[in-house]
Structure 1
Amino acid sequence: MKKVTLLLFLLTSLSIFSQGPWTQKKGKFYTQISFTTIPSYNELFGNPDYEIPGKITDNTIQLYSEYGITDNTTLIVNVPYKIIKHKGLVNPCLIGPCPEHSNKENNLGNIEIGIKHNYYKKDWLLSAQFSVEANTGSFDKNSGIRTGYNAYTFTPLFLAGKSFKKSYLQTFIGTKIRTNNYSSNFKVGGEYGGKVSKNIWLIGFLDIEKSFKNGDVVLPYSNLDTGLYVNNQEYGVVGIKAIGEFSNNFGITASLPAAFFGNNVAKQVALSVGLYKKF
């Protein structure tokens, strides 16, 4: 497999705007529902890259919403629902051909709630965001399928952005601090986008997460075999996002990231699309 491989990290597919400095007007809603699929993979990034027993298909249905508490302060809620399937050969298998077994887990991932506050708006917008991911995922010990981190995650971010006539630029930097002896991560990235026609935006982005490797959580062997929400997950991706506007308050989103490094995350092509509505 090529070193630069299409990748969708297991926790991505948030709203296009989720890490931007812009806030919703008081009383206004932005809501997006998205579907992400990482089909039938058994190879993970590592040093070196490695294979896991069997093949995993990881689907996520995700509801993301923003609500303007004031013109400068926005409430953020993100609810992922995971649909994960693990298929492999029956082990031990004494007489061939060996039959396949299949395990499934449909459950919530880590629900996230946060606050974004804009504290400066002149040429550049400067904002701060703080969110908490709850320990709402599930784990099946027999199959090793985990739908979220067995931890709370606290994410402070500093956000900056600037609008131009038909384009914009934004960037963010922060950390993800996890409990239960998971390692924490450093997070940085940004994007530049512009209108290519009356109703279509194209956006280039960079998103990097690096583990501090400061955690020593002990996970069951079955969980390590699947590689789902294990310790020291990290990645670096560049890619393209697109927004198609059906009207001023309704449209479709899609993204296609490409990885230039990773650790303990899926090495596979991913598909992600979403619908958004503004109220």
Structure 2
Amino acid sequence: MKKISILLLLFSFNLLAQSPWVKEKGKSYLQLSYTSIANYDKLFAKTEKELPNKVSDNTIQFYGEYGLTDKTTLLVNLPFKMTTLNTAISGSVNNNSLGNIQIGVKHNFSNNKWLLTGQLNIEANTSSYKANSGLRTGYDAWSFTPLFIAGRGFDRWYIQAFTGFDIRTNKYSSNYKLGGEVGYKTLDWLWIAGFLDGVASLNNGDIALPSENLATGLYVNNQGYAGFGLKFIGEINNNFGANIALGGAFTGNNVAKAPAISFGVYHKF
């Protein structure tokens, strides 16, 4: 049996933003979350890659949505990254700074039982890189992500799926994205959702990254994975709640093999 490990890339903003539901005009949704992946020293690859040092990648993330009209929603994601390289010789080295800031818009084209929604995200090249440690807080590129999303809600459960691409500049490869999610309201205050999520590199970029960066596995080229996981959403009241996300990977390429967990609190206005 293949070893199963939890994958940071499955959590946080991606799972929120890839939803076909839009906000009503003037309504908003705000979430603050924390995701941690600590002390990994192996990467998924065709042959498992061992790193020379242990790396930690923690993220505090602010995500927001605002209903511009009843069919169009604006969104923003502000990640603050806290990355650490733990070496036996020089101890811990840190790079704490912004990741790739993302803005986006999604528009609902049809709401006849099934919701059909289009979305476009733009990810700015706002990350930083420390050459001496190889710690990178985001891709050294701009990214453009068009998505098609479909979903439907029922009395106590919902289903949704998405497909699209990450198109990156600066000689990074682009990615194909595909995923789906099913959620069920087990209690009046608790939703449990299971998801499948996959990213496949198109291998069309030839950026030459420093060896120090390759030795951390942070935002390197041709990353991909096929994963699964669970989300738990607790509704404290109609406007306030909290969530936890856990995920696992069947396989991957150039991404960390290490346990991770994401916690978040949200408020609707």
TM-score range, shorter chain: over 0.9
Quick check: 1:109 aligned with 2:99? yes
Q: Is the 8 A contact 2:232 2:245 kept in 1?
A: yes
CA-to-aligned-CA distance 1:121-171 (integer Å, 9 cap, x gap) = 111000000010000000000111000000001000001000111110000
CA-to-aligned-CA distance 1:51-99 (integer Å, 9 cap, x gap) = 1111011100000000000000000100110001101122xxxxxxxxx
Report what 1:84 is aligned to.
83
Report what 1:166 is aligned to.
156
Deviation at 1:16, TM superposition (A): 4.6
Q: Percent identity?
A: 53
Q: Is the 8 A contact 1:208 1:235 kept in 2?
A: yes
TM-score (norm 2): 0.98
Report what 2:119 is aligned to.
129
Counterpart among 201, 206, 209 of residue 191 in structure 2? 201
Deviation at 1:15, TM superposition (A): 6.5
Give me the whole-angstrom Cα distance separating, in 2, the residues matched to 1:2 and 1:111.
35
Moved over 6 A (4+): none
Report what 2:209 is aligned to.
219
Give me the whole-angstrom Cα distance separating, in 2, the residues matched to 1:83 and 1:156.
28
Give me the whole-angstrom Cα distance separating, in 1, the residues matched to 2:162 and 2:216.
31
Deviation at 1:245, TM superposition (A): 0.4
Report what 1:50 is aligned to.
49
For 1:190-269, list aligned pairs within 5 A.
190-269=180-259
Q: How many residues align?
A: 269
CA-to-aligned-CA distance 1:202-245 (integer Å, 9 cap, x gap) = 00001100000000001111111111100000011111101000
2:187 match: secondary structure: coil
Report what 1:38 is aligned to.
37
Quick check: 1:145 aligned with 2:149? no
Moved more, 48-57 or 65-74: 48-57
Q: Which amino acid aligns with 2:158?
A: Y
Give me the whole-angstrom Cα distance separating, in 2, the residues matched to 1:171 and 1:78.
21
Give me the whole-angstrom Cα distance separating, in 1, the residues matched to 2:97 and 2:46.
31
Give me the whole-angstrom Cα distance separating, in 2, the residues matched to 1:15 and 1:178.
17
Give me the whole-angstrom Cα distance separating, in 2, the residues matched to 1:253 and 1:165.
21
Give me the whole-angstrom Cα distance separating, in 2, the residues matched to 1:32 and 1:168.
21
Q: Is the 8 A contact 2:2 2:250 kept in 1?
A: no
Q: Is the 8 A contact 2:174 2:204 kept in 1?
A: yes
1:40 match: secondary structure: strand
Report what 1:96 is aligned to.
none
CA-to-aligned-CA distance 1:23-58 (integer Å, 9 cap, x gap) = 000011101110000011100101101111110111
**CA gap 1:107/1:255 in 2 versus in 1, 3 angstroms:** same
TM-score (norm 1): 0.94
1:223 match: secondary structure: helix
Deviation at 1:7, TM superposition (A): 1.7
Deviation at 1:101, TM superposition (A): 2.2
Q: Is the 8 A contact 1:15 1:32 kept in 2?
A: no
Give me the whole-angstrom Cα distance separating, in 2, the residues matched to 1:17 and 1:265.
21
2:262 match: secondary structure: strand
Q: What's the RMSD between the two structures over aligned residues?
A: 1.2
Deviation at 1:3, TM superposition (A): 2.1
2:13 match: secondary structure: coil
Give me the whole-angstrom Cα distance separating, in 1, the residues matched to 2:14 and 2:200.
21
Q: Which amino acid aligns with 1:18?
A: A
* Gap regions ≥5 residues in structure 2: none
Q: Is the 8 A contact 1:36 1:59 kept in 2?
A: yes
Q: Which amino acid aligns with 1:101?
A: G
